Chain A
């Protein structure tokens, strides 16, 4: 359960996040939808405690990330914008490293990696060094790495960037399973279809502000557009950054 209120963040002159508030419930997939540069990544970085907000409040299962960063990190599984795998380590070693840092024992790790390998279909390359992995393979390893400690809340920054159709399908399947199991899933994306296909709740962010939020149904209603895509364009007031 995530609650964000009146979040603001500037870098020098640039106001990256002006006013962002939303809630993401457990057992739901929440999509942060917005064009490139809207402030989605900055918002997520504040959620996983790496950036301190200038003002506003964040609560993740009742924890403030700035006050208790270590506690919040234990609750969270994060697939950041930068997947950043270690190319000289195998996929398994990459996942193991993060598992160890989360305090998992080697028995727990072995079992967990077996589950994740099955779940994310990593079998083919789990023991290969990640040097030269395709984008899809890298994302799958990054997702496995983020989920190794079975976090209650999952944050994914543009998870389907660069994924092929099959990988995207597998990922969506996985996220739906997590939702069914009662996890809180938040993903950022600029791809309309992704939101339409996946999200229970949509938060539209443009120029650092939440311009609308609610279910797809609700958004169509308030914009008066029968198509979600048109609704989106109308709500953010521009077509910029939509197609990428």
Chain B
């Protein structure tokens, strides 16, 4: 003979699996669409950057005849010089060209006088996609400038190094992994959202939905303690959430594997081992999400009312992630005592390949399960009230 809790949980799982809305929300939209969009965007952006950095630079130049040497230099660097549009500013504004260079009328005179000769670079810096092209053009022009400058110094018998009083040398300690971690920093946020979103429709359906369909009254006339009925529903909700999380992580690892790594200057450090680790570190949050949502849904009279609460609830898992995003801090033991925050910190540490103490994981899991348990007891208390059934 099965336990009441188990009977309820199995029924709710079967019922939810037959509900297309729940199925799509919990098992498809959340876990698969999210990673797909994220990774898709990432691939698209990086590929575009790589293409822009490598492709031949076509550069319209106004008044080419005024600076033949500069034109020569650019052509030697592989730039294809193009005829300029009649109105360069308008052409850039109309996005016909990314960048147009104008050699000013004063250029020859300034050049001959040994004063800085003015070259104008016309671009709209607010258009992010032209960033790479703009940087390339400026680099070339500056390169030409310092080359000529050095030559002039040498002609006058001055060591060109004199004007370089300080040399800045970049020593970048970031590794491809840590640069990748910067990109994966949104993973904890994503995990939290998945855990909450996937339990949402099941939590609403099993509590507020049951009220609305008026099946709660007959259900509660069965000789099973109410806490067991509630726990069964909670179990089903938690299961859904855990399965969604697993699916989401699988999707993430799978899609990360699809990115052509050789093109990038970062490495996305996410393999199956890590995915499993993330799963068990964040799994206790599923209980918190399910109990919290069930508690709220028990307050609501209808499906719609319950849904209106959920918009606010979804902010809860987002807060620690956003806080860490705005205010990146060093991981410390006290953070492990705070559910939701601890998972964020742990996942971030692991992504960055930094040390995570075993005790941290243990504290995080225990405190989060404790919070989940407290919320579950609250939900059970709400189930005891006659008002639960006869609120309308």
Pairwise interchain contact B1-A105, C-beta atoms closer than 8 A:
yes
Query: Per-residue CB proximity of A43-83 to B under 8 Å, as 1/0?
Result: 00100111110000000000000000011011010101111
Pairwise interchain contact A88-B7, C-beta atoms closer than 8 A:
no
Query: When A50-B389, A51-B390, A89-B14 are in contact, do A80 and B1 touch as well, CB less than 8 Å?
Result: no
Partner of A73, one of B11, B215, B222: B222
Pairwise interchain contact B18-A88, C-beta atoms closer than 8 A:
yes
Check if B15 is an interface residue, CB within 8 A of chain A: yes
Pairwise interchain contact B11-A97, C-beta atoms closer than 8 A:
yes
Chain A residues numbered 210-229 whose CB sits less than 8 Å from any CB in chain B: none
Check if A84 is an interface residue, CB within 8 A of chain B: yes
Check if B314 is an interface residue, CB within 8 A of chain A: no
Min Cβ gap B256→A in Å is 36
Query: When A86-B15, A97-B7, A105-B1 are in contact, do A70 and B221 touch as well, CB less than 8 Å?
Result: no
Taking CB as reference atom, which chain A residue is nearest B6?
A100
Query: Per-residue CB proximity of A81-105 to B under 8 Å, as 1/0?
Result: 1111111110001000110111101
Q: Provide the bound-state CA to CA distance between A29 and B227, in Å.
A: 34
Pairwise interchain contact A82-B217, C-beta atoms closer than 8 A:
yes
Query: When A82-B214, A82-B215, A100-B7 are in contact, do A50 and B220 touch as well, CB less than 8 Å?
Result: yes
Point out the residues of chain B lying under 8 angstroms from A52, CB to CB: 386
Check if A185 is an interface residue, CB within 8 A of chain B: no
Q: Provide the bound-state CA to CA distance between A50 and B390, in Å.
A: 9
Point out the residues of chain B lying under 8 angstroms from A88, CB to CB: 15, 18-19
Check if B353 is an interface residue, CB within 8 A of chain A: no
Point out the residues of chain B lying under 8 angstroms from A84, CB to CB: 210, 213-219
Q: Provide the bound-state CA to CA distance between A87 and B7, in Å.
A: 18
Query: Per-residue CB proximity of A134-170 to B under 8 Å, as 1/0?
Result: 0000000010010000000000000000000000000
Min Cβ gap B357→A in Å is 46
User: Which one of B18, B218, B220, B390 has the greatest number of beta carbons of chain A within 10 Å?
Assistant: B218
Pairwise interchain contact B1-A103, C-beta atoms closer than 8 A:
yes
Min Cβ gap B7→A in Å is 5
Query: Per-residue CB proximity of B1-45 to A under 8 Å, as 1/0?
Result: 110100110010011001100000000000000000000000000
Residues of B within 8 Å of A, CB-based: how many? 27
Point out the residues of chain A lying under 8 angstroms from B362, CB to CB: none
Pairwise interchain contact B223-A80, C-beta atoms closer than 8 A:
no
Point out the residues of chain B lying under 8 angstroms from A80, CB to CB: 217-218, 221
Pairwise interchain contact A50-B386, C-beta atoms closer than 8 A:
yes
Q: Provide the bound-state CA to CA distance between A70 and B266, in Å.
A: 62
Q: Provide the bound-state CA to CA distance between A70 and B220, in Å.
A: 10
Query: When A51-B386, A80-B217, A86-B215 are in contact, do A98 and B222 touch as well, CB less than 8 Å?
Result: yes
Query: When A50-B386, A97-B11 are in contact, do A102 and B215 touch as well, CB less than 8 Å?
Result: no
Taking CB as reference atom, which chain A residue is nearest B214?
A82
Min Cβ gap A153→B in Å is 12
User: Which one of A49, A52, A93, A98 has the greatest number of beta carbons of chain B within 10 Å?
Assistant: A98
Q: Provide the bound-state CA to CA distance between A153 and B191, in Å.
A: 51
Min Cβ gap A50→B in Å is 6
Point out the residues of chain B lying under 8 angstroms from A87, CB to CB: 213
Partner of B15, one of A76, A81, A89, A98: A89
Min Cβ gap A201→B in Å is 24
Min Cβ gap A133→B in Å is 13
Query: Per-residue CB proximity of A221-243 to B under 8 Å, as 1/0?
Result: 00000000000000000000000
Query: Per-residue CB proximity of A17-37 to B under 8 Å, as 1/0?
Result: 000000000000000000000
Check if B224 is an interface residue, CB within 8 A of chain A: yes
Point out the residues of chain B lying under 8 angstroms from A97, CB to CB: 7, 11
Taking CB as reference atom, which chain A residue is nearest B1?
A103
Pairwise interchain contact B221-A74, C-beta atoms closer than 8 A:
no
Pairwise interchain contact A73-B221, C-beta atoms closer than 8 A:
yes
Taking CB as reference atom, which chain A residue is nearest B210?
A84
Min Cβ gap B223→A in Å is 4
Pairwise interchain contact A76-B221, C-beta atoms closer than 8 A:
yes
Min Cβ gap A10→B in Å is 13
Pairwise interchain contact A73-B223, C-beta atoms closer than 8 A:
yes
Min Cβ gap A58→B in Å is 15
Top 9 A-B pairs ranked by shortest CB distance?
A84-B215, A82-B214, A101-B222, A73-B223, A84-B214, A88-B18, A100-B7, A74-B223, A70-B223
